[in-house]
Amino acid sequence: MNAPPSFTEGVEIAREDLSIAIEKGAFDSAKAWKTIVKYIAMRSFEDIRKAEANFGLRSSIPTDLISLEINRADNNALSFDVLSTLAAEYLETSRPMPEVLAQWAASMMRGEKKRPIRNGKYALGTLERNTYIWPVLEKLVKRGMTATRNDASPPLSACDAVAEALKQLHESPSSYASVKRIWNFFQRYLNRLPVTRKNSIVKSFTMQ
């Protein structure tokens, strides 16, 4: 059995993986926000397309999906951006736009619909950033490093190594406490899921 990485080796492993994530724009919160908006919009577009192909006019799925976002859009910047991106996708692909979306898009272009101001920073962008940090922690733990530590122990855990790597890369979060919160958040989330679903999500994170 291979020995676990030393702290210095753990930092180097983390630096290498995190540098790739930075190059992808995962630590640019504005870019990450746009990526998430595009992802949600394209999933909605495909869900609507499949519903129309399988059920045609008998399906209320397209209207229901879009109406749900419209009901949120006056107070939710994410829903507003998703609707705008979805409408643009219909126009660019020359597909007939669902009437409820066409009406919303027309109101938006006339200036009757205003994009709501987002409270705080790009929270979803921060979540995407964290989905790149967690797999690095998972990799170090699988290689034998301890995930976290108590306050009296030397700062040699996987969370310490990742925090140090982020500090060297001049990225946030660069404190042990913040990185530990990311680790604990994902552990709580994943541990609530069925094993097959958990394994699928872990695989998708580690393949980014």
Helix (H, G, I), strand (E, B) or coil at 6: coil
Q: Once rounded to an integer, what is the mean pLDDT over residues 35-59?
A: 74
pLDDT in tens, 1-41: 589 999 999 999 999 999 998 998 888 877 777 777 887 88
Residue 65: band (very low, low, confident or very high) from pLDDT cuts 50, 70, 90: confident
Q: Once rounded to an integer, what is the mean pLDDT over residues 131-142?
A: 93
User: Cα dihedral sign for 159, 161, 162, 163?
Assistant: positive
pLDDT cut 90: percent of the chain above it: 48
Residue 173's pLDDT is 94
Pure H helices in the chain: 7-23, 29-55, 61-73, 77-93, 99-109, 123-142, 158-168, 176-191, 195-206
Q: Which residue has the tokens 């994009």?
A: 115
Residue 122's pLDDT is 52
H-helix or E-strand spanning residue 94: none
Of 63 and 69, more confident: 69
Q: Would you report the helix, strand and coil content of the chain in percent, each value rounded to 5?
A: 70, 0, 30
Ranges of each domain in the chain: 7-27+121-206, 31-109
Residue 60's pLDDT is 60
H-helix or E-strand spanning residue 118: none
Amino acid at 171: E
User: Of 28-37, 41-50, 146-155, which gets the smallest average pLDDT?
Assistant: 28-37
Of 50 and 133, more confident: 133
Question: Over 60: is that where the pLDDT of 206 sits?
Answer: no
Question: Over 90: is that where the pLDDT of 111 sits?
Answer: yes
Own/partner pairs for 89-95, CB < 8 Å, 24+ apart? Answer: 89/41, 89/42, 89/45, 90/45, 95/49
DSSP 8-class letter at 111: T
DSSP 8-class letter at 27: T
Q: Once rounded to an integer, what is the mean pLDDT over residues 82-97?
A: 92
Provide the CB-side half-sphere exposure for 142 (13 A, CA). Answer: 9
CA distance 67 to 169: 43
